[in-house]
Amino acid sequence: MSDQEKTILSISHMKKSFDDLEVIRDFSLKVKQGEVVSIIGPSGSGKSTILRCASLLERMDDGELSYLGEYAAKSEGGKSVYVSKAELKRLHRHFGLVFQNFNLFPHYSVLKNITEPVLLQGQLHKEEAEAKALGLLERLGLKDKADAYPFQLSGGQQQRVSIARALALSPEILFFDEPTSALDPELTGEVLKVIRSLADEKMTMVIVTHEMLFAKELSDRIIFMEKGVVAAEGTPEEVFSTDNARVREFIGKVSTL
């Protein structure tokens, strides 16, 4: 099987409710190695919940989830049944998640923010983890910030540190949850540049974003979510030229903000 045929992530018929609010009614997705998939849609359509379930921060009510053919959860009797905690911990190594609000530890230096998750997973010794972290910081233009603390950085710099933290775990796939939504417009570009460079290196990514032109330029596929289901899916050209009036209305409004 070639790399392009290898399925990194498979989600089948995901359902998720919070109390009486049905957030995800039915969602399925397969992501191949090297693919970039962007998920767009209005607020409340379930986009971030998909990423939280895929990254095991939330548990699906029903549906199946697997990485590289290994199941995190199977559907049995109308509900998701998860594998053991030990198996879930092992599956964590397959993915990284970049949050919209950075989620850096304020009392840790930049270097420690990056190395701590690696050391907790037992992947590398401290010296190896620090060398890897410094290499990532240099690549992202932040090597001089290794000893700084998050409050000393701009929002764009903090988000680049959070990307470095995710990359340090050597994931098979990266999830981005609206990575520029907490940034001023002038800082958005530096983060998008990093994500663009990852796409050029064929990093497998699923990106929830409101940056329509960026999604159009970068993605292999775009999924438009509304009311917990996929309302449209296809190549950027197909989605941006769709006859679906709701999708056209959304893209038009967001693109002119």
The string of pLDDT tens digits covering residues 36-95 is 999 999 988 999 999 999 999 999 999 999 999 999 999 999 999 999 999 999 999 999
pLDDT at residue 37, rounded to an integer: 97
CA atoms within 13 A on the CB side of 226: 13
Residue 185 clears pLDDT 70, i.e. is over it: yes
- H or E stretch including 136? helix 126-139
Q: What is the mean pLDDT of residues 200-208?
A: 95
Residue 23 clears pLDDT 90, i.e. is over it: yes
How confident is the prediction for the chain on average, in pLDDT? 92
pLDDT at residue 121, rounded to an integer: 82
Integer angstrom CA distances of residue 105 from 48, 76, 82, 132: 22, 38, 29, 19
CA distance linking residue 175 with residue 155, whole number of Å: 19
Integer angstrom CA distances of residue 99 from 131, 159, 234: 24, 8, 25
Per-residue pLDDT tens for 159-177? 999 999 999 999 999 999 9
Please state at what angle helix 185-200 crosses helix 155-168, rounded to 10 degrees. Answer: 20
Q: Are 92 and 45 in contact (CB under 8 A)?
A: no
Closest to 57 in 3D by CA, of 29, 88, 81, 78: 88
Q: How many residues are given for the chain? A: 257
CA distance linking residue 86 with residue 106, whole number of Å: 29
